[in-house]
Structure 1
Amino acid sequence: MTLPTIRRARPDEYDEIARVWMESWVSTGLAEASDVLLTALRVRLREEVENGWSLFVAEDQATLAGMLALHLSDNYLDQLFVAPAYHGKSVGRQLLAFTRQLLPDEIWLRCAVGNEKAWRWYEREGFLFEGEKLNPLNGLMMKYYRWKKR
């Protein structure tokens, strides 16, 4: 497999990006797929882009392999999700490397405590744990991480 191409997302892809987001989130075991969840993610995606998200996709031969949402002015990696069919194929690592190109000095993020696979991966990728805090939007306890260029 060749690595997907990372590029800015297009508005006509937002529904498909929300589907990838939902499928990846559901793969964590922290949610169940539903039309309600998909609709909420579609709405949130559009609102977040309007409020400053820089939204990117990893595209593999016209298939969306992942999505990445950043708040560049805050050095914040808000969302990084890989479609389940692409798990274990370095798409996440590629999206993170792309993030480090855009935010070369510092990146912070938060990750659900229950998403152990993700936060352990961020730790292996050099992110340092800073603390935990409840996310009032979804009621989940979140782990906060930061990476700084050495």
Structure 2
Amino acid sequence: MTNDQPVIRRADAADAEAVAEVWLRSYDAALPTVRRPRPDDQVRTWFVEKIVPTRETWVAVADGAVVGMMVLHDGDLDQLYLAPEWRGRGIGDRLVEVAKERCPEGLELWTFQVNTPAQRFYERHGFVESRRTDGSANEEREPDVRYVWKP
């Protein structure tokens, strides 16, 4: 690992597998009680075939390795995950700054109710809770929270 700040850039096809690995590792570390509805190989295929090629995907790269990822889609901050060992270093803050620059009219996102660290993180960045659900509309069947940021 390096002490230098990772480079934030748009992802390309060559990053897709590494993006999936960061997502899987981060999800499992941050959300151990949340059921993943798809096995690892399907998640990898989803990132390689659907997400990176068709969505605005950003990566944080350090020492040639993807250590963070974010997906923007139609005003949604759809995914933001960091490699567990890279949390707390300001990378998430930098990715949110990119999201706000790319979507200056505002952003929305979902996070699970059990993910209180994420809720604190987004609230610190000016996102405001707009509603809570029982999770019946998401694949994980996990209660979630909708957040909105308006400039």
1:49-88 maps to which residues of 2 (within 5 A)? 49-50=52-53, 52-71=54-73, 74-88=74-88
1:39-118 maps to which residues of 2 (within 5 A)? 39-45=41-47, 46-50=49-53, 52-71=54-73, 74-118=74-118
Cα deviation for residue 31 of structure 1 reads 5.3
Asked if structure 1 preserves the Cα contact closer than 8 Å seen for 2:70 and 2:95, the reply is: yes
Q: Secondary structure at the match of 1:110?
A: strand
Cα deviation for residue 38 of structure 1 reads 2.1
Q: Secondary structure at the match of 1:131?
A: strand
* CA–CA distance in structure 2, aligned partners of residues 136 and 24 of structure 1: 19
TM-score normalised to structure 1 length: 0.87
- Matching residue within 124, 146, 149 for 2:148: 146
Q: Which moved more, 1:78-87 or 1:41-50?
A: 41-50
- Matching residue within 3, 6, 30 for 1:4: 6
Asked if structure 2 preserves the Cα contact closer than 8 Å seen for 1:58 and 1:91, the reply is: yes
Number of aligned positions between the proteins: 144
Identity of aligned residues (%): 28
Q: What is the RMSD computed on CA atoms of the aligned residues?
A: 1.9
Asked if structure 2 preserves the Cα contact closer than 8 Å seen for 1:30 and 1:114, the reply is: no
Cα deviation for residue 96 of structure 1 reads 0.6
Aligned to 2:131: 131
Q: What 5-or-longer segments of structure 2 have no aligned partner?
A: none
